[in-house]
Amino acid sequence: MSKVVAENLPDAQGHFGQYGGRYVPETLMHPLQELEAEYFRAQHDAAFQEELSYYLKEFCGRPTPLYFAERLTRELGGAKIYLEREDLLHTGAHKINNAMGQILLAKRMGKTRIIAETGAGQHGVATATVAAMFGFKCVIYMGAVDCQRQELNVYRMKMLGSEVVPVHAGQKTLKEAVNEAMRDWVTNIRSTHYILGTAYGAHPYPVMVRNFQRIMGDEARAQILEKESRLPDMLLACVGGGSNAIGLFYPFLDDAGVKMVGVEAGGLGIKPEQHAARFHGGSLGVLQGTRSYILQDDFGQIQSTHSVSAGLDYAAVGPEHAWLHDQKRVEYTYATDDKALEAFTKLARLEGIIPALESAHAVAECIVRAPQMSKDALIIVNLSGRGDKDVAQAADKIGLQMPK
Ligand SMILES: *Cc1c(COP(=O)(O)O)cnc(C)c1O
C-alpha cells in the first residue's frame, strides 16, 4: 500500500473509492458544506488543536496506557498481548475523543444547541458530558429498546442535564435514533450542531470522526515503539460504525507488516436478521447519508440486526472500512454473542478488567488468534470501553446469582 493512496482519501466529495459521499436532503447540503469548511480550517488552526489537546489531557485523561496483559498472554500461550486502554478514559469509552473535538467545533461555529444519536448510550453520555462542560443545551435521541437495555446510561445523560428522547419507530434501536436526529437537525439547523458518534454518515463526518479518533493509533504507535522498539504484528478492534477501529488502524495503514482485523457482531450466527456483520451478508447500498456495505433485503429494505452489544447493532458500516475491505488492507471477521460473553468473563477474571461488550468482540478474536502466533509476535487489542454499563445484562446471560 503506497502512502499516497491512504493520504489522498477521501476525495473532495468525501469518497473512499466507490464508498462514502453525501446522500442527504437538499436542506442539509449547505450545513454540511459549512461544517466541512469550518472543520478543515480548525484542523489547520494551531490554536484549535492546542485547545483540543488541552482538554483531551486535562479533562478526558489522555494519553491512555498501552497495557501488557500478562496473564491473558500466558493463558493463551502465543503472541504478546497489549491492551489499548480507552476504558480508562473519562465517561468510559473512546467516544469522548470525538465528542470533545466536535463540541469545540460547535463553539467555534457559534452554535448553542447540540443533538446526538446513541446506541449503547456511550456516545450520548460523552456528548451530554461535553455539552454540560461548555454550557450547551443538549438533546439525545435513543431507540426505546436501547433505553431499556442501557438504563444506567440514560440516567447518566439526564443527570448531566441533557434531554433523552426515546425513539419508538421501527426496530427502536440506533438506526431509528439517527433518523430522528437528522429530522431535528433539518428543523433547527441555525442553532444546532449534530455530534455524530461514529465514522459514518455524510461527508465530512467519516473523515472528521476518524481524524478526531486517530489519537488512539498515534499514541499506541509511540507507546509500542517505546516498549518493544518495533511495530506490532496485529491490531484488533471491534467494528460498529467503525470509529474505534479506524482510529487505531489509520496511523498504521502504510505499515505493510502490521496486519489489521476488524471484528463485527456475529450475534446469534450469520443468518438474516440474527447479526450485524455487514461484511458477511451485506451489499452495496445507501443509508443515512453515505454509500457502503449494508444489510438489506432483495428490495433494498434495511434488515433488522441483532447483537448482544447495542454499540455494534447497526445495519451499515463506515465507508472507509468498506474501502479498506475491498483493498484487502483490513480483514473483517465476526464474533458471536456467546464468544463475546466468554471473552468478557475471561478478561475480567484474568486481568481484572471488565470490558464493554463491544470491546469483548475484539478480545474474543484475540483469544482465537494469539495462540496461533509465535511468542515474540505482538498484538494490540483496542479496549474501546469499560463494561460497567453491561454488567447487569452479562450477569443475567451467564447466570450469575445474587447471594442469598
Ligand atoms: C460505540 C462503541 C463501539 C462501536 O462504535 P465504533 O464507532 O465502531 O467504535 C465500540 N466500543 C465501545 C465501547 C463503544 O461505546
Q: How far is the CA of 129 from the centre of ligand 1 (A)?
A: 17
pLDDT of residue 7: 63
> What's the sign of the alpha-carbon dihedral 228, 242, 348, 373?
negative
- The class (CATH top level) of 20-57+95-209 is alpha beta
**Looking at the predicted structure, is the pLDDT value of residue 5 above 80?**
no
Q: How confident is the model at residue 257 (pLDDT cuts 50, 70, 90)?
A: very high
Using alpha carbons, list the distances in angstroms from residue 42 to 13, 107, 211, 294, 391: 19, 11, 12, 32, 39
**Overall pTM surpassing 0.95 (yes/no):** yes
- pLDDT tops 50 at residue 4: no
What secondary structure, in 3-state letters, does the chain show? CCHHHHHCCCCCCCEECCEEEEECCHHHHHHHHHHHHHHHHHHCCHHHHHHHHHHHHHHHCCCCCEEECHHHHHHHCCCEEEEEEHHHCCCCECHHHHHHHHHHHHHHCCCCEEEEEECCCHHHHHHHHHHHHHCCEEEEEEEHHHHHHCHHHHHHHHHCCCEEEEECCCCCCHHHHHHHHHHHHHHCCCCEEECCCCCCCCCCHHHHHHHHHCHHHHHHHHHHHHHHCCCCCEEEEECCCCHHHHHHHHHHCCCCCCEEEEEEEEECCCCCCCCECCCCCCEEEEECEEEEEECECCCCCECCCCCCCHHHCCCECCHHHHHHHHCCCCEEEEEEHHHHHHHHHHHHHHHCCCECHHHHHHHHHHHHHHHHCCCCCEEEEEECEECHHHHHHHHHHHCCCCCC
pLDDT at 149: 82
* Average model confidence (pLDDT) across the chain: 96
- pLDDT tens for residues 99-116? 999 999 999 999 999 999
Percent of the chain scoring above 70 in pLDDT = 98
Which residue among 122, 153, 365 has the greatest number of ligand 1 atoms within 8 angstroms of its CB, and so is best to mutate?
A: 122
Q: Which residue has the higher pLDDT, 313 or 1?
A: 313
Domain with CATH 3.40.50.1100 in the chain: 20-57+95-209, 61-92+213-398
pLDDT of 2 higher than 50: no
Q: Is the pLDDT reported for residue 120 higher than 90?
A: no
Residue of 95, 98, 211 to test ligand 1 pocket, by largest number of atoms within 8 Å of CB: 95
Residue 1 pLDDT exceeds 50: no
For residue 60, the CA-to-ligand 1 centroid distance in Å is 17
Which residues are known to be catalytic? 95, 117, 384
For ligand 1, atom 2: residue with the closest CA:
311
Measured from the Cα of 122, ligand 1's closest atom is 15
Q: Give the model's confidence band at 9: pLDDT under 50 very low, under 70 low, under 90 confident, else very high.
A: confident
Report the greatest alpha carbon distance in the chain: 63
Ligand 1 atom with least separation from CA of 95: 15
pLDDT digits (tens, 9 = 90+) for 15-46: 999 999 999 999 999 999 999 999 999 999 99
Q: How far, in Å, from the CA of 98 to the mean position of ligand 1?
A: 12
pLDDT in the model for residue 138? 98
Question: How many angstroms does the Cα of residue 173 sit away from the middle of ligand 1?
Answer: 15
Distance 403 CA to ligand 1 centre (A): 33
207-217 confidence digits (pLDDT tens) = 999 999 999 99
Candidate of 84, 175, 198 to mutate for ligand 1, largest count of ligand atoms within 8 Å of Cβ? 198
Burial status of residue 326 (CB atoms within 10 A of its CB: 0-12, 13-18, 19 or more): middle
Span 245-272, average pLDDT = 98
Q: What are the Cα distances from residue 291, in Å, to 98, 186, 203?
A: 22, 20, 11
Q: Give the atom of ligand 1 at the shortest distance from the alpha carbon of 244.
A: 9
Indicate which residue's Cα is closest to atom 5 of ligand 1. 240
Pocket of ligand 1, beta carbon within 6 A: 93, 95, 120, 122-123, 198, 238-245, 311-312, 356, 358-359, 384-385
Cα-to-centroid distance, 17 and ligand 1 (Å): 24
Q: For domain 61-92+213-398, give the fold.
A: Rossmann fold (3.40.50)
